[in-house]
Chain A
Amino acid sequence: MVISFESIPVKIKGLMVHRPIIPVHLLHRKDRDFLIAQSLWVDSGADFTLISHTIAEQLELELSETTAPVGSIGQDYRVRGATCGIILARGAEAYRLTIPVHVADNFEPRYPLFGRVGVFDRFDVVFRQRNGRVEFHNKDPSLKRINLPEKLRPR
């Protein structure tokens, strides 16, 4: 099963650049009726998914007591660890999974990231740069497709 998203085209001085930005539902830690839908930048270079402190607070995620530096940026930028339930859906294809996330502690991420751990080990992620698409091929037999009810349709 494959979930396929169109990349977001960004025109930079006449050059069209396609960025693998996709929509993801982020779930509240306890309240099953509460979730936030957000755009995340699929980043094969990021170990972990990175979200802002604002979003983590809204979702009431349980954050680690200690902070750690963001490896690629340096000691000044620190994150806390947490786990977060997400729904990755496109049309009738939808999966619910729980992934480890990093929560920005003392900075505002320029863009929230969708990193590898918990995601790339369940899906083969294919960046089709020529076609302006990014695809998620489910390779985890334990990851079952969920059915989204009709009421998910917009009004």
Chain B
Amino acid sequence: MPKEIRNRTDVCFDAFQSMDLDGLEDQWLLLIGGKRVFAHPSEEVVLKYAREHYPDDVPCLLKVPFRHPYSM
């Protein structure tokens, strides 16, 4: 097992579910310790940010679901 996985996905996921995601549709969020620390539409940019700012943590990338443009 990896030795330093402190940013457990399901904990971040629980935090993600209780967040106000309005205005963040289609964006990737970076969560560290259950807290949102960065958001951007590009997965690559978010990963790069994670590597630069949180090199010792597992990057937890959660994408905010989009809304269908043709919805009622």
Contact = CB atoms under 8 A, between A and B. Distances in A.
Interface of A: 5-6, 8, 10, 12-13, 15, 19, 21-25, 32-39, 41, 52, 54-55, 58, 89-91, 108, 110-112, 146, 148-149, 151-155
Contact of A154 (B7, B16, B72): B7
B65 A35 contact: no
A91 B61 CA distance: 19
A6 B44 CA distance: 27
A150 B61 CA distance: 22
Interface residues of B, number: 33
Contact of A37 (B33, B60, B71, B72): B60
B-side interface mostly: loop
B40 to A, nearest CB: 12
B2 interface: yes
What are the 7 closest A-B residue pairs judged by CB atoms, nearest first? A37-B9, A23-B9, A37-B60, A23-B13, A39-B62, A12-B71, A154-B33
Contacts of A10: 65, 67
Contacts, number: 104
B4 A33 contact: yes
B67 A12 contact: yes
Nearest to A52: B43
B65 A55 contact: no
Contacts of A41: 65
A90 B8 CA distance: 10
A52 B28 CA distance: 13
B37 to A, nearest CB: 13
B36 interface: no
